[in-house]
Chains A and B, each alone.
Chain A
Amino acid sequence: MWKSLLVIAVSALVARLELPELRRRRDKSAAVYVGLLVVGTAAGITAVQQMELPGPLHALAFLFKPLHEWLGQIVG
């Protein structure tokens, strides 16, 4: 538990330092920053909690597996 809180605290601290400057800009910097930070913090929490999730490469394997099987049949 305290590990997740630590990740959130670090994110919040850095956002506190960096966001005010970004919010003064006229582009969407602040929105993109916050969005990315939320996703990043979620990813960071899964990492520090050592959750067992199917990784992004498993999705890749799922996508490309039929291709490999098909190629394997051709080559033999």
Chain B
Amino acid sequence: MGEPERISTRQLAVLLLFVTIGDMLLVLPPHVAELVKQDAWIAHLLGVAAGLGIAWLLLKFALALGSEGLVERNRRTLGTWAGGAVSAVYMLYFLLNSSLMMRETSDFLTTVLFPETPLRAIHGLAALAFVVGIRYGLQSIARAGELFLPVFGILYAILLLLLLPQVQPGKLQPMLAADAVSMLEGIYISAIYPFCELCVFIMVIPLVVRRKHMKRDYLLAVAVGGLSSFAVMLMSILVLGGVMTAHYLYPAYILAGKINVGHFIERLESLIAVNLILLTFMKTVLFGYGFAMVLAQMFRLDDYRPLAFPTGMLVFGLAYFMWPNVVEYNDGLFRYWGDLDVLVGILLPLALLGLYKWRSPAKGGKASEGKRSTAPRRAEELPGNDGS
């Protein structure tokens, strides 16, 4: 890598906040509410608690990689092919997630704000900003995040505060009515989707300037992000009720429409839409960065930034044929995305952490010892890859 980029712990926290909330305000409430109706907030709260565990695992994994980064470390530990396969899984995941975010944003926009605008036009504009973001690098993405944070905070606070008059506590009743299986599934969904996607930070954390409080700040930022999306979930149950939250495609947007302060402040939907676009955009760019970074490291390039334009082109195309329409995504493909999240967010990090642990004692007397043990390890890693 040319001159190494560095970001501060504060910038890391901001990015974490954006990724944790990300598109979750859009997609999570209807899916959880569909399973457990008015108990969705309980499922979400427990999901955040479980998600902190996932976030902690990912942090541990990222720190175990050291300054080498994911690709180098895997190449050294697993050999060229098995290590390359693991890196390729992450690369594809970052690419797909980036396109998915872009498509979710444009689906949202075409559904509620611009029904006449073709998807491709929105994708084109988004891809333009995306290319610029990656072109300038992680440092600039992080700075943009810092810049956007107050905007996000104010809009978010407006949404929650102005909704307070509409709150009907009765909507929470009957509490704990959902059966155990649906409840577990609700917890699973709200733990997996937001928190496994934090795995993009294994590409970011090696670049963070180390501070004493990094671990604490990391978990704090993740917790704040999780609780922020929890608050919107709770609000949509309190204002719309469990059944209506499950019914609407984008409850957060409908929620903004409910704001009405003395018939004077009303119809704030577009403000909230701006907020949602901002959140998903930050996530799109960060995942695009992850993709370009893994690709550059796999081919040992000096710099990932020149790859910005081809990446943008690819994401522009992929975002279009991700799924034919939003209904197919919500009803069918959404759950399979969670499996991939589990694979890259829990199973692979666990397996790799175990491998590193196993490998490191042999470090003292390596040479022939190390060479002999690479072959069985390869054989073991590959079935773990497609079997999970």
Contact = CB atoms under 8 A, between A and B. Distances in A.
Nearest to B118: A50
Contact of B317 (A46, A68, A75, A76): A46
B310 A37 contact: yes
A29 B301 contact: yes
Interface string A10-25: 0100100010011001
Interface in B168-214: 181
B314 A47 contact: no
A48 interface: yes
Interface in B102-142: 120, 123
A36 B312 CA distance: 10
Interface in A54-72: 55-58, 60-61, 63-65, 67-68
A47 B120 contact: yes
A29 B302 contact: yes
B317 A47 contact: yes
A47 B320 contact: yes
A27 B300 contact: yes
A57 to B, nearest CB: 4
A51 interface: yes
Contact of A29 (B303, B311, B316, B320): B303
A52 to B, nearest CB: 7
A63 B321 CA distance: 18
Given A43-B316, A43-B317, A46-B320, A33 B337 contact: no
Contacts of B296: 32
B316 A47 contact: yes
Contacts of A58: 323, 333
A45 B317 contact: yes
A1 to B, nearest CB: 16
B295 A32 contact: yes
B313 interface: yes
A50 B316 CA distance: 12
A5 interface: no
A21 B120 CA distance: 30
A57 B303 CA distance: 30
Contacts of B324: 52, 55
Given A44-B314, A56-B318, A57-B329, 16 more contacts: A18-B306, A25-B302, A27-B300, A29-B301, A31-B299, A32-B295, A33-B306, A36-B311, A39-B314, A40-B316, A42-B317, A43-B321, A58-B333, A60-B340, A64-B336, A68-B339
The 3 closest A-B pairs by CB, nearest first: A43-B317, A40-B313, A47-B320
Interface of B: 96, 99-100, 120, 123, 181, 295-296, 299-303, 306-307, 309-314, 316-324, 329, 332-333, 335-337, 339-340
13 contacts: A21-B306, A28-B299, A32-B301, A36-B295, A37-B313, A39-B310, A39-B314, A43-B313, A47-B316, A48-B120, A50-B320, A56-B318, A57-B337
